[in-house]
Amino acid sequence: MGSPLRIKAGSEEYPLYLAPGLLAGAGSLLREQGLAGKVLVVTNPKVGALYLSRLQAGLEAADFIVTTVTIPDGESYKRLDQLTKVYDAAVACRLERDSLVLALGGGVIGDLAGFAAATYLRGVKLVQVPTTLLAQVDSSIGGKVAVNHRAGKNLIGAFYQPTAVLSDPETLGTLDQREFKTGLAEIIKVGLIGDRELDAFLRQESAAVKQQQIGALLNIIRRACAFKARIVDEDVRESGQRVILNYGHTIGHALEAETDYDHFRHGEAVAIGMVGAAKLSVALGLATPELTQATLDLLGEYELPTAIPGLSAKKLMTRMAWDKKVKDGKLRFVLSPDLGKTLVKGDVPPEAILAVLRSMGAV
């Protein structure tokens, strides 16, 4: 299996295990971390049907006491009433401070279960077991946990690091192509904003990536996780450099919220947002048009969306006003002067943003 990737977040540190076949051995890995006792597994019906029995058997073989709570599948269920279901299950099984909340699923489950772990008994141990590509490279590491509010995405949340992350790439084999590609968008983002070797690999080895060859997957997942880990260690609470990980997310989150979280997958919205960020960088004189073309070329290679399908530009601007990067009432954008580079620009002229949105298909 090899050594785990060590994720540092300020004074905290935890292992990220990345290898095929981890689910069955989850119990023994967690015991090696000194964990024991009760486990509340949070999952959804689809993931539970595929992987829960295998995971639970491994946990029980290592003498963990397992309880399960199931949340409906989909971003629209990452909300407070579903969070209450997790609290109710934790109370019913008498979860204790040293007990575990284990998130088995994609980003919705990881975020919601993580926020429950952060707040129940003022914090119980959290284990992330991400089963989607997006969750394996993004939401399962870094300690950002949250639920959505009707006004915007992830407005109610916390910074809370997991005790361990177990990523099994074999779970990606059951993803539909749309879900697989939404995870690729976050990996593409890492290449565009900082890891030029990853960017080159994605362009040169697209056939291997799209065929989900295990060697290619392990390479891009590990590189994306390592990049994010470096940024998180330098800025645990997103007060500085960590904001660059939100490249493409200002427009992306607005798209998700404006369509009630049921039209775009997260990575699809971020892909469109990265095109918007590149176009805005060019419009403000920070980059040459080649940046936009390079972004479009790579997203096109992986058949990710790059346009806004007729939504109101002004309504999207209103959604952006709730963005977490807003400071002193002024919207800040993560932009790029060139491939592999980023900068954060405050007080971007609204007319420039509107023009870019309309150039991408907004009305």
Which residue in 78, 79, 144, 265 is the catalytic one? 144
Burial of residue 174 (number of CB atoms within 10 Å: 0-12, 13-18, 19+): middle
Which residue in 153, 228, 324, 325 is the catalytic one? 228
- End-to-end distance of the chain based on CA atoms, in angstroms? 51
| C-alpha to C-alpha distances, 232 to 260, 266, 278, 347, nearest whole angstrom | 29, 21, 24, 25
Asked if 20 and 168 touch (Cβ cutoff 8 Å), the reply is yes
Per the annotation, the verdict on 290 as an active-site residue is no
Tell me the residue length of the chain: 363
Burial of residue 177 (number of CB atoms within 10 Å: 0-12, 13-18, 19+): exposed
Which residue in 125, 242, 279, 332 is the catalytic one? 242
Per the annotation, the verdict on 238 as an active-site residue is yes
Per the annotation, the verdict on 149 as an active-site residue is no
Q: Phi/psi zone of residue 157: left (φ > 0), alpha (ψ -120 to 50 degrees), beta?
A: beta
Which residue do the tokens 């509010």 mark?
A: 149
How big is the chain by its Cα radius of gyration, in Å?
20
C-alpha 141/C-alpha 164 separation (Å) is 9
Per the annotation, the verdict on 38 as an active-site residue is no
Per the annotation, the verdict on 60 as an active-site residue is no
Per the annotation, the verdict on 144 as an active-site residue is yes
Per the annotation, the verdict on 242 as an active-site residue is yes
Give the orientation angle of helix 196-204 with respect to helix 289-301, to 10 degrees: 50
Which residue in 78, 125, 189, 249 is the catalytic one? 249
Burial of residue 3 (number of CB atoms within 10 Å: 0-12, 13-18, 19+): exposed
Tokens of 57: 């058997």
Residues noted as catalytic: 122, 144, 186, 228, 238, 242, 246, 249, 253, 266
